[in-house]
Amino acid sequence: MPLPVVECKAEVRAVRRLAPEILEVDLSMLEPTEFPFEAGQWVSVPLGPKTVRAYTIASTPANHRQITLCADVTPGGIGSRWFRALAPGQVVEFKGPTGGFVFTRADPRRPLFVAEEIGIVPIHSILWDLYQTGFGRPVTLIYWGREPSWLAYDGEFRLLARRYPPFEYLPVVREAVGGWQGEKGEAPDLVERTVGSVAGLIAYVSGGGQMINKVRQVLMAKGMERKAVKWEKFW
């Protein structure tokens, strides 16, 4: 049964810069004091009478008293300005949880996750939730960024791959700067090169609509059913 959407108040505890234009904010729940959600979901923040912005939860459901939101503030619009201005001690209001881009543990298929820059946020929550509660199967993540500094959670995923060898982490960048030694190119191309048989596979793809469509086309050309590709569009 879906969790109910509730109106919430929370206090900003910390703000961190993960990449040039990617910020992470820790919120401590005030009303209600606990906020149950599923990994991969998001909250909506009212910024005016007819203006609402959605922010995905980067943390896992293990702690109901605090959540972490993550956003790319590059666009510079009203949502970006609001997120940039957040500071410890500030009280914010939001509604949630919302969203169906969640991992179904009862599904026996092996998951392939594909993320584009800020599209990594729901997958970050899902993967660390799986690590905390038990993966139970091999998992692959393909994580794309325009250049290495835009892979906001790169260090965390490298650590996760060392802790849990059946987790395969494949970061890829368009511009290999700063001594980058990994894959270079686009996410759909890496999916094409690294995914062999799609038998017993389910895909979770998150990022821009163009990337999502291209990855879906690649997987369907390999024989995957369209409904076996779950997606979360950020732009």
List the beta strands (DSSP E) in 74-225.
91-98, 110-116, 139-145, 167-173, 183-184, 201-207
Better-predicted residue by pLDDT, 70 or 182: 70
Q: Is-contact 214 122, C-beta < 8 A?
A: no
Q: Mind listing the pLDDT tens digit for each residue in 93-145? A: 999 999 999 999 999 999 999 999 999 999 999 999 999 998 889 999 999 99
Give the pLDDT score at 224. 98
118: tokens are 């800020």
107 vs 81: CA distance, rounded Å: 40
Alpha carbon dihedral 56, 61, 67, 72, in 10-degree steps, equals -20
19 vs 28: CA distance, rounded Å: 23
Q: Which residues are CB-neighbours of 94 under 8 A, at least 6 positions away? A: 7, 8, 10, 43, 44, 45, 46, 55
Assess whether the region 6-98 and the region 110-233 belong to the same CATH fold: no
77 vs 70: CA distance, rounded Å: 16
pLDDT at position 54 over 70: yes
User: 110-233 adopts what CATH topology?
Assistant: Rossmann fold (3.40.50)
Domain ranges of the chain: 6-98, 110-233
Q: Mind listing the pLDDT tens digit for each residue in 157-177? A: 999 999 998 999 999 999 988
58 vs 78: CA distance, rounded Å: 21
**Bridge partners for 110 per DSSP:** 201
Q: Mind listing the pLDDT tens digit for each residue in 71-85? A: 999 999 999 999 999
> Please, is 43 exposed, middle or buried when counting C-beta atoms within 10 Å of its C-beta (0-12, 13-18, 19+)?
buried
Architecture of domain 6-98: Beta Barrel (2.40)
pTM of this prediction exceeds 0.85 = yes
Residue 5 gets which letter from DSSP?
P
pLDDT band at 182 (very low <50, low <70, confident <90, very high): confident
Q: Is-contact 167 161, C-beta < 8 A?
A: yes
pLDDT at position 1 over 80: no
Three-state SS at 95: strand
Q: By percentage, how much of the chain surpasses pLDDT 70?
A: 100
Give the pLDDT score at 212. 98
